[in-house]
C-alpha cells in the first residue's frame, strides 16, 4: 500500500489575504491539477466533491472524491481531508494535507503545504514508484501554478 508524506514551500510576493483568496478558490485550483475535475462546492470551506482520473499502469483510475475541511483558520491555515474509491479497479485514495500561510517581512506570503497520501487496492499493486511519480507530478503542477499566479 503506497503512502508517503510530502512537504513543499513557496515564497510569494502576494499579500497574505490575496494569497488566501486565491488558494481557497476551488474552481481555480481544479484547473491547476490536470487529473482533477468536476469540483463542486457542497459547503464553502467545509465540504467539496471532485473527480480524480488518471492512468496508473494498465489501470484507468476514476475516483469520486469526498473532500472535507475539518480545520480552518481564515487567512492562516486550512486542513483538507480527501478520500475516494474507484470500484471498477478496486482502489482507494486518501489525502490529508494542511496549508499554512505566513506573512513575509517583504509583504508577501510563505505558503507551506504538508501532508500524507495513501493509495490502496489494485492501482497500488503497480508499486510505490509509479504512485510516487504521480503524486510528485500533482504537487509540482499545483506549486508551479501557484508560483505563476502568486508571483
pLDDT digits (tens, 9 = 90+) for 68-100: 999 999 999 999 999 999 877 788 889 999 999
Sign of CA dihedral 36, 41, 47, 49: negative
In angstroms, the CA 105 to CA 30 distance is 30
Helix (H, G, I), strand (E, B) or coil at 15: coil
CATH 3.30.530.20 given to domain 3-150 = yes
Q: What pLDDT does 128 receive?
A: 65
Q: What pLDDT does 10 receive?
A: 97
pLDDT level of residue 30 (50, 70, 90 thresholds): confident
Q: What are phi and psi of 79, to 5 degrees?
A: -115, 130
Helix (H, G, I), strand (E, B) or coil at 104: coil
Q: What pLDDT does 120 receive?
A: 83
Q: What pLDDT does 1 receive?
A: 58
Inter-residue contact 118 to 131 (CB < 8 Å) = no
> For the chain, what are the domain ranges?
3-150
Q: What pLDDT does 132 receive?
A: 79
Is the pLDDT score of 51 beyond 80? yes
Closest CA to 117 of 101, 140, 136: 136
Q: What pLDDT does 76 receive?
A: 97
Q: What pLDDT does 127 receive?
A: 62
User: Which tens digit of pLDDT belongs to each residue from 103-150?
Assistant: 999 999 999 999 999 988 876 676 667 777 878 888 999 999 999 999
In angstroms, the CA 55 to CA 139 distance is 17
**Residue 66, all three cell numbers:** 469526498
Q: What are phi and psi of 123, to 5 degrees?
A: -65, -35
Amino acid at each position: 500500500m503506497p503512502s508517503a508524506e510530502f512537504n513543499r514551500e513557496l515564497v510569494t510576493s502576494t499579500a497574505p489575504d490575496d494569497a488566501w483568496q486565491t488558494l481557497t478558490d476551488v474552481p481555480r485550483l481544479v484547473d491547476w491539477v490536470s487529473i482533477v475535475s468536476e469540483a463542486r462546492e457542497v459547503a464553502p470551506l467545509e465540504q467539496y466533491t471532485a473527480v480524480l482520473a488518471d492512468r496508473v499502469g494498465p489501470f484507468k483510475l476514476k475516483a469520486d472524491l469526498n473532500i472535507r475541511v475539518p480545520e480552518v483558520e481564515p487567512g492562516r491555515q486550512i486542513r483538507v481531508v480527501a478520500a475516494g474509491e474507484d470500484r471498477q479497479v478496486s482502489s482507494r485514495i486518501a489525502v490529508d494535507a494542511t496549508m499554512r500561510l505566513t506573512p513575509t517581512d517583504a509583504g508577501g506570503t510563505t505558503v507551506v503545504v504538508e501532508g500524507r497520501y495513501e493509495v490502496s487496492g489494485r492501482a497500488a499493486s503497480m508499486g510505490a514508484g509509479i504512485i510516487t511519480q504521480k503524486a510528485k507530478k500533482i504537487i509540482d503542477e499545483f506549486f508551479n501554478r501557484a508560483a505563476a499566479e502568486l508571483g
